[in-house]
Amino acid sequence: MKHKNTAYISRDALLSNYASIERLVGDNCAVGQRRPRIICVVKADGYGHGIHTVAGALGDAGCDFFAVSSEEEAVELREIETRNGRNPDILILGHIMPENVGEMIARDITCAVVSLDNARELSAAVDAHNRRGSRARQDALKIHIKLDTGMNRVGFPAAEDRVGESIRQIMEVAADPNLRICGIFTHFSCADDELMDGRILPGYEVFGGFTGLQLDRYRVAVKMLEERGIDVGLRHCANSAATLCCPEAYFDAVRAGIIIYGLMPNGRLEERSGAALPRFTPVMRFDSSVVHLHRMNPGDRISYGAEFTASRPMLVATVGAGYADGFERAYKGCCVRIGNRMYRQIGRICMDQFMVDVTPVDEADERDNPVRVGDAVTLFGGDDGQMTDTLARMAGTINYEVVCKVSKRVPRIVE
């Protein structure tokens, strides 16, 4: 079947980005430091790129540790990798339902624990799981402890006035035979801004920025646990931004997310301290097609709300994609590529279509750069990420959301 909308996924770009991360992490390791593992974050269907393609390619490249957000994603990933003959570590970063503990144990899935109440609830579920059947089991759920070092989302509080109580609670978790601590992590809230733009939040200059404060809190909490004889397992807190610019946050592993897909965490390619950051290649190119051409006279209006009025004779192309495909209404006024030229979108973006001004500049332009029904239209991708980043800024969001929102009805074709 020929598709009018297609998300092309470049396996070569994916492998190239992973290799760049490997080189970067290896080059940035401190003398004598063991090379950190790379945890590839493939939640949200591989950030919209298709988890089958992403996990398959990264597994072929040597990745043996993945992170997801939910039990469903973890089970799907385990089945994919089992079919591929591999058995990588899989960590669920988000909350899990206690009712799913048995399946997580059976499929060797590691889960995050974010509080003592959460740990007790999961422990009770493990206990119930072990008592089922005619013979008692002694299974334990593999867990990573989540520290809240300042994100204030989930996790054991690691702020100076609360870390002592958190340590006591984590020690209780460590003593629970139903739970086996295999790692400890946190998440930076400002690393993409501070480390890539040099912006320091007011009041945190003494800590080297809010990221520095979070890193210090993480170190203190881990040290307190180790001094009390707790084996914390794998230590990790570097997200994509910190992986790029903060080697002191590497510890035992780094979590690479958006950079795997060829986009930068803050949507910009910057340099820090005079050292060029690696250049990544966007993995997704979102193409549609011209489905109709028509002419407009001065005074004619276009699309819902009749917001756009032609001020001159115009040639207008209708493109067969809309917000139901993930091309958001908020992208109104953006530019798309047809052939080798950029053209401005006009009027409101509809559910399944939008319009583009393709009026030739002159007769020579009409002759040399004709737009025809059936022509491919690149909505984003096929460049260094600038089209994706521009759409994100227009929508007041981030490039993560642009790729994640490409809907399921758009087929993913691996190139």
Q: CA–CA separation, 207 vs 50, rounded Å?
A: 39
Compute the chain's Rg from CA coordinates. Answer: 25
Of the CA atoms within 13 Å of residue 170, those in its CB half-sphere come to 35
Which DSSP state fits 35?
P
Q: Is the pLDDT of residue 200 over 70?
A: no
Q: What is the pLDDT of residue 274?
A: 45
DSSP string, 239-280: -HHHHHH-GGG-TTEEEE-GGGGT--TTSS--EETTEEPPP-
Answer yes or no: CATH 3.40.190.10 is held by domain 284-414: no
pLDDT confidence of 192, banded at 50, 70, 90?
A: confident
pLDDT in tens, 66-88: 999 999 999 999 999 999 999 99
Q: What is the pLDDT of residue 167?
A: 98
Sign of torsion over alpha carbons 77, 80, 81, 82: positive
pLDDT confidence of 199, banded at 50, 70, 90?
A: low
Closest CA to 255 of 185, 151, 152: 185
Q: Is the pLDDT of residue 31 over 90?
A: no
- Give me the mean pLDDT over the 143-149 stretch: 98
Whole-number percent of the chain with pLDDT over 90:
82
- Give me the mean pLDDT over the 141-146 stretch: 98
Domain edges within the chain: 36-273, 284-414
Q: What is the pLDDT of residue 72?
A: 97
pLDDT confidence of 246, banded at 50, 70, 90?
A: confident
Q: Is the pLDDT of residue 367 over 90?
A: no
pLDDT confidence of 193, banded at 50, 70, 90?
A: confident
Q: Is the pLDDT of residue 386 over 70?
A: yes
Which DSSP state fits 140?
-
Q: What is the pLDDT of residue 271?
A: 47
Strand partners, 378: 287, 337
pLDDT confidence of 137, banded at 50, 70, 90?
A: confident
Closest CA to 246 of 226, 282, 286, 219: 219
- Residues carrying an active site annotation: 43, 304
Query: Class assignment of domain 36-273?
Result: alpha beta
Q: What is the pLDDT of residue 348?
A: 97
- The amino acid occupying position 101 is V
